[in-house]
Amino acid sequence: MITCMVSGIAKGRFLERGRWLAAYSDQIYVVCPRCGGRAVVIPRPGLPELRYYSQLLFRPRRLACPQCGITKEWEAQRRGAYRVGVALGGSTEPFFGRPLWLQVPCCGHTLWAFNERHLDVLQAFVAAGLRERGGYASTTAMIPRLPVWMKRASHRADVLRAIGRLRDQVRRSAPEDRPEAAYERPGEHKSRAYPGLGLRRGPGLQLRQLLTAPSWLARILSVFPNGPF
Ligand SMILES: [Zn+2]
């Protein structure tokens, strides 16, 4: 059972619970590298049950396209005893480097999402008249890290319209439905990895590793008060 907090949504009120972007990364729609249709990037099937969302940054991944049948596999690089995870964020998916299928120009920027659940929480946040933080001051949570332009009341109608367009887009899958914004951006993301975050195959981080962990680990730990590992 995953023990991360979720965002609460009720009657125009959005309660921020500190959910991390990784929590939405279990299903990522991308542009197929072969046919240009809608492919999906998911954790490789058959792995042990997910315990923490942070594991989604390291788990072997599979890209599969129902349109042309291509499949590709991804595994985290290893540095000694560690695995190196990906950095999520931006309009390019970080495992295979594919453009996100769900992206659209909006307010001079690009609005993007991984999947429908991601769109749901973005829409709830943007549409809410009252936005509250649930006492979680995490700097890695998804909602606090949204760009300022998405949070402006003056952009609310435009952003909600763009989210509506992405909802239409998620139902399309043919190569001719590829969004104009979804083009390759070589070198945009790639591996701004988390050196040392990779876990040993054992039951958890060793004390020595925690004592020498850099500040990014402290930020991640702050997302999981009960401990992500
Ligand atoms: Zn394809």
| Confidence check: pLDDT of 198 > 50 | no
Quick check: is 229 in a domain? no
Q: What separation in Å is there between the alpha carbon of 188 and the centre of ligand 1? A: 22
Would the pTM count as exceeding 0.85? Answer: no
Q: Can you tell me the distance from the alpha carbon of 220 to that of 54, in angstroms, rounded to the nearest whole number?
A: 8
Cα(101) to ligand 1 centroid in Å equals: 12
How buried is residue 48: exposed, middle or buried, by Cβ count under 10 Å (0-12/13-18/19+)?
exposed
Which residues sit with Cβ closer than 5 angstroms to ligand 1, an ion? 32, 34-35, 37, 65, 67-68
The half-sphere exposure of 224 on its side-chain side, counting CA atoms within 13 A, is 19
The pLDDT score that the predictor gives to residue 41 is 97
In a domain, 225, yes or no: no
Find tokens 């009120």 and name the residue.
13
In a domain, 226, yes or no: no
- Please report whether residue 114 resides in a domain: yes
List the beta bridge partners of residue 131: 14
pLDDT digits (tens, 9 = 90+) for 130-153: 666 665 555 567 887 889 999 899
Please check whether residue 3 lies inside any domain of the structure.
no
For residue range 71-100, what is the model confidence (pLDDT) as tens digits?
A: 999 999 888 878 888 888 889 999 999 999
Instruction: With respect to residue 2, please indicate whether it lies within any of the assigned structural domains.
Output: no
Say how many Å lie between the CA of residue 77 and the centre of ligand 1: 25
Does the residue 194 lie in any domain?
yes
Buried b (16+ CB within 10 A) or exposed e, 101-124: bbbbebeeebbbbbbeebbbbbbb
State the residue range of the domain holding 167: 8-220
* d(CA 168, ligand 1 centre) in Å: 19
Q: How far is ligand 1, taken at its centre, from the CA of residue 135, in Å?
A: 43
12/28 Cα distance (integer angstroms): 27
Residue 206 is assigned to a structural domain of this protein:
yes
If one counts the domains in the chain, the total is 1
- Ligand 1 centroid–CA 173 distance in Å is 9
